[in-house]
Amino acid sequence: MSTGVLVIGHGSKLQYNRDIVASAAAKMNEMKEFGPVVAAFMQLNEPDIQTGIRELVNKGVETIYVQPCFLASGIHLTEDIPEEIGLEKGKTETTMDVDGKKVILRYCQPIGDDDRIAAILADRVRERSRKG
């Protein structure tokens, strides 16, 4: 069964914010660990979530890991994205029919409380402190 990843960002009027999500997805894609990786957005940017899913299915993906590119859980992660992908409340897996193909969607956790976040923040403080 072939897998892929849909990295979902919020979407923004600022191009830089869109580019960060797209870059993260591209870097994951280069890892070649999960199959194709595509960025998609809840609002304001393209591709939208349904287009991202369709792109992965067109690449032969049968199981999509839906990875929110959000630091913490909130209404977008608990209601908006699950609703968009047809996920029942409290569930982390569903199936979707995409152009006549049955696809499994597995919903992942947000970035959350991770030591790597603290390390990145510490690096940014170090960088700034070197500038005075």
For range 55-60, the mean pLDDT: 98
Domain segments of the chain as ranges: 3-131
Q: Which tens digit of pLDDT belongs to each residue from 68-121?
A: 999 999 999 999 999 999 999 999 999 999 999 999 999 999 999 999 999 999
List residues with catalytic annotation: 10
Residues whose CB falls within 8 Å of the CB of residue 114, separated by 6 or more in sequence, listed in order: none
Task: Give the N- to C-terminal CA distance of the chain in Å, as an integer.
Answer: 53
Domain boundaries 3-131, corresponding CATH code = 3.40.50.1400
Report phi then psi at 103, rounded to 5. Answer: -125, 140
pTM of this structure? 0.94
Q: Report the C-alpha gap between 13 and 116 in whole angstroms.
A: 28
